[in-house]
């Protein structure tokens, strides 16, 4: 079973072995409202932890998506191209953005677990 980590920018990463699946949290999707466009990196791209790795646009706003960990992109969720609303419907499920091969598992130590993330969201007001 994969373990899920969270960032302060409201991305999540589910790690299973050396593969990580990335998306935005339910909180982020809720704050954005109806998502109308998602841009992901391309398969073969290398992303760096904390660097911009995509864009999500809603009827309210556009927001950058940041890579929670570094690695090489091995898959993208092509379904989001035609159905970006999947992010609203299932941000931790069918609404994932991309998968990558982890470059440095130690980077996960900089992220939050679910309890810490919930406390962080609550502290934001």
pLDDT tens, position by position, 92-120:
999 999 999 999 999 999 999 999 999 99
CATH of 3-123, one of 2.40.50.100, 3.30.70.3420, 3.90.1170.40, 2.30.30.100: 2.40.50.100
Question: What span, in angstroms and rounded, lies between the C-alpha atoms of 125 and 122?
Answer: 6
Question: What span, in angstroms and rounded, lies between the C-alpha atoms of 71 and 20?
Answer: 9
3-state secondary structure of 108: helix
Question: What span, in angstroms and rounded, lies between the C-alpha atoms of 99 and 31?
Answer: 24
**Domain residue ranges of the chain, discontinuous segments joined by +:** 3-123
Query: Residues, the chain, total?
Result: 125
pLDDT tens, position by position, 38-94:
999 999 999 999 999 999 999 999 999 999 999 999 999 999 999 999 999 999 999
């Amino acid at each position: 079973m994969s373990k899920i980590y969270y960032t302060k920018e409201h991305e999540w990463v589910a790690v299973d072995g050396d593969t990580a699946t990335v998306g935005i949290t339910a909180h982020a999707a809720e704050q954005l409202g109806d998502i109308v466009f998602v841009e992901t990196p391309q398969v073969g791209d290398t992303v760096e932890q904390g660097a911009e790795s995509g864009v999500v646009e809603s009827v309210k706003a556009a927001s950058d998506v940041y890579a929670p960990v570094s690695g090489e992109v091995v898959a993208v969720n092509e379904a989001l191209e035609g159905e970006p609303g999947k992010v609203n419907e299932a941000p931790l499920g069918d609404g994932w953005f991309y998968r990558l091969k982890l470059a440095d598992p130690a980077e996960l130590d900089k992220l939050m677990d679910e309890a810490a993330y919930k406390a962080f969201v609550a502290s934001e007001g």
